[in-house]
Structure 1
Amino acid sequence: MEINKRLLIQISKKLLEQISICLGALLFFTFYFGITISNLAPAFTFGIFLLPVTMGMVNVFSFYLIPEYLYKQKYFLFALYTIYTLIISFFFIALSSFYGFIFINSLDTIDKGFMMSKNLYLIIIGVYLIVLLTSLFSAYRESYKIHLRNQELQYELVNGELQLKQDELSYLKMQIHPHFLFNTLNTIYGSAIAKSNETPELILKLSNLLDYILYQTKKSVVPLQDEVDHLKDYLDLEKLRHVEKLKIDATFPQQLTGELIAPMLLLPLLENSFKHGKSQANEAFVELRIEVGEGNINFFLKNTFEKTDHKESLESSGIGLQNIQKRLDLLYPNAHLFTFEKVKGYFVVNLQIQTNQPKSV
């Protein structure tokens, strides 16, 4: 039922369009051929004879030749079929004019001066002028429809890409959170087994970190100070865990002036350094340095790593590095520098990002 209703509406629109063109053509013929006479009746009558061939040409050009050949850039075929159409139409215009003149001449009430003032070339020009104007209007209307469709498709494409980026970022964050939580809970578990008096403090710091992860990471950006504060909390957790086996050299900005950063970019890097930098036999070393200036945030991280990890590729050193790289590509395109390498027993990470980013996704 709904399909039939839509079909009926489309047919009604097409019919109304054809009627409008017919009335417009008749009105044009009436004034075009009757401009030099006082009685417009013969001009109107003559226009009726020219109407079939005129409407035929209008439909051929507007609904076939232009959309099927001109819009599809088949210029040779369009030119060829246009020539064929003009030749055939010339014959039908002449035929319609001949019978139109005979009919008007048979009417005693019609002024015979109309006959003498018209010639075939003037008639052809009048018909072709209507076809040209109608075809131009049809071409403009179709071009406008194509423009609107392209805008709509472009809008849908942009929205689709935006949704994909949002979904990918959410997926990357979901990977980071369980990983980080698992390692921190292991720290608290070890402290509880040892019946350490530091366990309550560990739980409190973990609570702060979870609050940051669960709520602050839903934002597109957070103050850099928040990320730094939670880096300090994480360092305190690791200090309490490793005690004398851990040496940390951390340098943070003395004063921050409202710089913004995407949440959970720096914390996973630090977590990754402890995951692969711990050592049971030797003292673990972590050097962390954050600098802010000239529109950039510079993050430097250096840590020892297990000898057993030496044969591992850089890409296999935790999901954190891979996820950070993907998030940087999405959030800071062409506005970041991220490198990591193993040099002389140390794993070194350098990250530089522009503070006027990230992109809103």
Structure 2
Amino acid sequence: MNKKSLLLHISKKLLEQASICLGALLFFTFYFGITISNLGPAFTFGAFLLPVTMGMVNVFSFYIIPKFLFQQKYFWFALYTIYAIVISIFLIAFSSFYGFIYINSLDSIGTEFMLTKNLYLIMIGVYIVVLLTSFFSAYRENHKVRLRNQELQYALLNGELLLKQEELSYLKMQIHPHFLFNTLNTIYGSAIAESKETPELILKLSNLLDYILYQTQKSLVPLEDEISHLKDYLALEKLRHGDRLQVNSSFPEESKNLMIAPMLFLPLLENSFKHGKSQSTEAFVELKIEIHEERILFFLRNSYDETLSTKNLTSSGIGLQNIKKRLNLLYPNYHLLNIRKSDGYFEVDLQLKTTPPKTSVS
């Protein structure tokens, strides 16, 4: 804290104390002088009670309440409250005694004031000021604590959101070269074979690259865009493998303007060709996407080479692990992913709710 801030803090505290003093004096003046016509003795008597009143106010507002009540140390709060009240009783009696003596010593003031208040009512007046001030102070401090907690909670949530955004960006950047590498291998194989389909393969790749480089920068894309590029990828693979590849695909006629995170389905399809095809045998891929109420159902089944290790089939490289992480970040508790191997087939079953809670994360 620099010098200027320290002076400002001290000034605010002094102003606060002066405001409490003025309020207490005004209260005592009207409280003690309500039955007499002359408020001068009441003001003078309130001035004698002001030191013990301000002492009680500061003890409760800045020590007992923050240190014990706010910390839920109720036993110590009750104990120190009793101590403070007992001590204050003697100080109030002492101040009242000398206040009466001083007022009666003045020739201009009669004895009217002495007969209007007894010691119990004086204590009640002091404790009313202490109670009201302590309540106000406790409310203010509680409000400050609540605001600080909200700021900390916001900072924590904002930090978690930034971490998720960075992780998702990393996952997207990771999947781009991975997908591109495998697709270029497909075109390379076609070029080696001097296939007449190579130009069309390049055109399909161009469409896929446009989707990967630009559309995946968005948080959400239309489901129909993802389906369109699934079709492009299937066409690309069918052009490469010809009759050796059997594809059964089924897509919804209408996507109902549904939005999903980009590149969720495409890497799964690419993964099935990478780990399921064989250059010497026929390959089979079945792809089905359905829409049921608030869910998107994605089903993919492909034949696989028995010579591949079980580890490769279950982990399936970067692509599948990437998808799992993105689903956990974008659709927590809003998706169900099952991956299994059965009777010579590798199956992926993904159920996705169409309205995820994390659509604001890009």
Tell me the TM-score normalized by structure 2. Answer: 0.95
Shift of residue 358, structure 1, vs aligned partner: 5.7
- Answering whether residue 5 of structure 2 is matched by residue 22 of structure 1, we say no
Q: 1:179 to 1:38 in 2, by over 3 A?
A: same
Q: Report the more deviating stretch, 204-213 or 309-318.
A: 309-318
SS of 1:298's partner is strand
Aligned partners of 1:255 and 1:55: how far apart in 2?
75
Shift of residue 356, structure 1, vs aligned partner: 2.8
Aligned partners of 1:263 and 1:189: how far apart in 2?
26
Shift of residue 302, structure 1, vs aligned partner: 0.7
Counterpart in 2 of 1:68? 67
Q: 1:108 to 1:314 in 2, by over 3 A?
A: farther
Counterpart in 1 of 2:108? 109
Q: Report the more deviating stretch, 237-246 or 9-18.
A: 237-246
Counterpart in 1 of 2:193? 194
Whether contact under 8 Å (1:191, 1:241) holds in the other structure is yes
Q: Which amino acid in structure 1 is aligned with residue 303 of structure 2?
A: T
- Answering whether residue 310 of structure 2 is matched by residue 311 of structure 1, we say yes
SS of 1:67's partner is helix
Aligned partners of 1:144 and 1:310: how far apart in 2?
61
Shift of residue 138, structure 1, vs aligned partner: 0.5
Counterpart in 1 of 2:245? 246
Aligned partners of 2:89 and 2:253: how far apart in 1?
89
Q: Which amino acid in structure 2 is aligned with residue 161 of structure 1?
A: E
Shift of residue 280, structure 1, vs aligned partner: 2.6
Q: Which amino acid in structure 2 is aligned with residue 46 of structure 1?
A: F
Counterpart in 2 of 1:77? 76
Aligned partners of 1:113 and 1:292: how far apart in 2?
91
Q: Which amino acid in structure 2 is aligned with residue 20 of structure 1?
A: S
Counterpart in 1 of 2:124? 125
Shift of residue 79, structure 1, vs aligned partner: 0.4
Deviation string 1:120-142 (CA, Å, 9 cap, x unpaired) is 11111111110001001101111
Whether contact under 8 Å (1:252, 1:289) holds in the other structure is yes
SS of 1:151's partner is helix
Q: Report the more deviating stretch, 194-203 or 83-92.
A: 194-203
Counterpart in 2 of 1:169? 168
- Answering whether residue 139 of structure 2 is matched by residue 140 of structure 1, we say yes
Shift of residue 196, structure 1, vs aligned partner: 2.5
Counterpart in 2 of 1:54? 53
Aligned counterparts, 1:315-326, within 5 A: 315-326=314-325
Q: 1:300 to 1:121 in 2, by over 3 A?
A: same
Q: 1:358 to 1:73 in 2, by over 3 A?
A: closer
Aligned partners of 1:287 and 1:358: how far apart in 2?
30
Shift of residue 201, structure 1, vs aligned partner: 1.3
Deviation string 1:267-307 (CA, Å, 9 cap, x unpaired) is 00000001101213321111111122323211111111222
Aligned length: 360
SS of 1:307's partner is coil
- In structure 1, the gaps of 5 or more residues are none
Whether contact under 8 Å (1:54, 1:130) holds in the other structure is yes
Counterpart in 2 of 1:278? 277
Q: Report the more deviating stretch, 125-134 or 299-308.
A: 299-308
Shift of residue 61, structure 1, vs aligned partner: 0.2
Aligned partners of 2:357 and 2:78: how far apart in 1?
53
Shift of residue 313, structure 1, vs aligned partner: 5.7
Shift of residue 22, structure 1, vs aligned partner: 0.5
Aligned partners of 1:249 and 1:290: how far apart in 2?
12
Q: 1:313 to 1:201 in 2, by over 3 A?
A: closer
SS of 2:302's partner is strand
Shift of residue 48, structure 1, vs aligned partner: 0.9
Shift of residue 253, structure 1, vs aligned partner: 2.2
- Answering whether residue 333 of structure 2 is matched by residue 338 of structure 1, we say no
Deviation string 1:5-40 (CA, Å, 9 cap, x unpaired) is 111111000000000001111111111111111111
RMSD of aligned Cα (Å): 1.5
- Answering whether residue 341 of structure 2 is matched by residue 352 of structure 1, we say no
Counterpart in 1 of 2:268? 269
Q: Report the more deviating stretch, 195-204 or 68-77.
A: 195-204
Aligned partners of 2:357 and 2:346: how far apart in 1?
27
Q: Which amino acid in structure 2 is aligned with residue 211 of structure 1?
A: D
Identity of aligned residues (%): 73
Aligned partners of 2:277 and 2:64: how far apart in 1?
75
Q: Report the more deviating stretch, 185-194 or 267-276.
A: 185-194
Q: Which amino acid in structure 2 is aligned with residue 120 of structure 1?
A: L
Aligned partners of 1:17 and 1:256: how far apart in 2?
64
Q: Which amino acid in structure 2 is aligned with residue 60 of structure 1?
A: V
Aligned partners of 2:313 and 2:278: how far apart in 1?
19
Deviation string 1:90-127 (CA, Å, 9 cap, x unpaired) is 11111111111111111101122111222111111111
Runs of 4+ with >4 A deviation: none
Aligned partners of 2:38 and 2:255: how far apart in 1?
89
Shift of residue 315, structure 1, vs aligned partner: 4.2
SS of 1:203's partner is helix
Whether contact under 8 Å (2:286, 2:302) holds in the other structure is yes
Shift of residue 224, structure 1, vs aligned partner: 1.3
Aligned partners of 1:65 and 1:49: how far apart in 2?
24
- In structure 2, the gaps of 5 or more residues are none
Shift of residue 314, structure 1, vs aligned partner: 4.9
Tell me the TM-score normalized by structure 1. Answer: 0.96
